[in-house]
Chain A
């Protein structure tokens, strides 16, 4: 089983919503579409589902051309950011609705709904209506509707975006388990890099209607093929600075930071990406580089401290474990490890990682 997009392109009027895209999704995988809003995730999903037709290109499913085939014949299910359930049906009838239309026997419906409801912890509320449930339970019902019918393709369009933090964490942890033993392709759209890392599988980074990179999630994270891909897959945003290398010595263009390196790339100027968690308020390891900054914003998130600071006219972000309260305007020292720098050339393509 596989889903393949061949040169898929989507234009509406003069606007190109999806630039020519090639993508092959394999059976039993979770595929994450990661990108900011308006990067084309939803459009791409609707094309995959058959809710929308591509302007050019073809969609192949199981070695069969399904371009233009109606969504009802494609055995797909979809979960949306909004909690979409039939308002007048009970939870039970909502979950059963995709089965009823296909004409499954009522005994089997009962058994399958029961099983899915248990999986999603909905057994106690099968007789309630959606508007009597919390947001999390409504989205669980929508998930159950998607899971009940053994689809070949399950599409989830930012399913956790409308939930509050706590419910989001809870459901996010359960999600990978839900898809574990299923014979299907899962596509999951999200704006959050942390969600992609948690779900694993494969990730495609998207920006402005273009798929930037597709591969195993960790590979995409560790070896972004370009600066853009690295930026899409970094939250808080990645720090970028220009450096020059000659022989074994590297330095920032303003000479404020110098270090020795053994990496084997030719001399010249590079752009370096530094992930926020690689800049900390404390030294990690022996070869930490020290930089100075002026605190712009200091915020706490759980037990992590996010410190925005300025160097010259550039804004930087650092993420440290532990609680550090800094005053705005303070001068402070921060530390980073040159081994974790990601080097990009003048065309912003990856040169070397670390």
Chain B
């Protein structure tokens, strides 16, 4: 094949390079810059090598917030994925119920993060909030601003409320794409409802569920706004997840070096987990 050399093609490629440079590479390089150097302002930098990385990797504070982060994400996935599938299974497949359910399901997804946080903060206040007041009236000693357990409970409940819909919508789309003939074939075989779920519906939903789990992992692992508004990371550091801790370090204490190192580590953890997860989930699809 003869290739014609046409330098004009660069005109189509350059805008993308520029765009990517401005929105990804340049900000990231600034962080890299801070991660390896010490600065005292006035554009004076001193080379520190891997000192900040070592400091972060050995710091108990980082270990604690990373642990909280994994625990939170794990609980979120463990609740939202099965719950989302269960709700999708009970949704109507045709008729007027479909648009009604879809609109109702989408509502929480349309609310801005900080509004969700503020809403739940007021909703859960033990003295005036509907949830907090009701729980206390029922005899529970509930106060999310004081008790660690209650703070976690409220944060998780808020995230489940906010994001389960996403899993529902994705699962529902997966379910809708299964041809009716599959259900008929199972009926002819005399397969039970459970067998239909495990042998037909789950395998057919595999791809959308992979996407759902990935999205929920990434979002919950990087969660910031909602717990920031709801608990501010408290009581104490009980709900200070990675990003909240990071912002405290960077903007609260102005430890720019360690904070930059921490954000790079944070970034690589997200990247690594996503990659490992995606490869595992898609491994069986490879030989198609």
Residues in chain A within 8 A of chain B (CB atoms):
46, 49, 51, 71-72, 76-78, 80-82, 84, 86-89, 97-98, 101-102, 131-132
Contacts and interface: CB of A to CB of B under 8 A. Distances in A.
Given A84-B179, A86-B199, A101-B189, A51 B184 contact: yes
B188 A77 contact: yes
A127 to B, nearest CB: 13
A72 B188 contact: yes
B288 interface: yes
B44 interface: no
B247 to A, nearest CB: 44
A47 B184 CA distance: 12
A81 B200 CA distance: 18
Contact of A84 (B182, B203, B287): B182
Contact of B204 (A51, A76, A81, A87): A87
A214 to B, nearest CB: 25
Interface in B145-195: 179, 181-182, 184-185, 187-191
Given A78-B188, A84-B179, A86-B200, 7 more contacts: A71-B188, A72-B188, A72-B189, A76-B188, A87-B203, A98-B188, A132-B287
A78 B190 CA distance: 13
Among B188, B191, B204, B288, residue most surrounded by chain A Cβ atoms (within 10 Å): B188
Interface of B: 179, 181-182, 184-185, 187-191, 199-200, 203-204, 287-288
Contact of A82 (B179, B203, B204, B287): B179
A98 B184 contact: no
Contacts of B200: 86-87
Nearest to B189: A98
A92 to B, nearest CB: 15
B189 to A, nearest CB: 5
B185 A72 contact: no
A353 to B, nearest CB: 40
Contacts of A49: 188
Nearest to B192: A101
B288 A71 contact: no
A296 B9 CA distance: 46
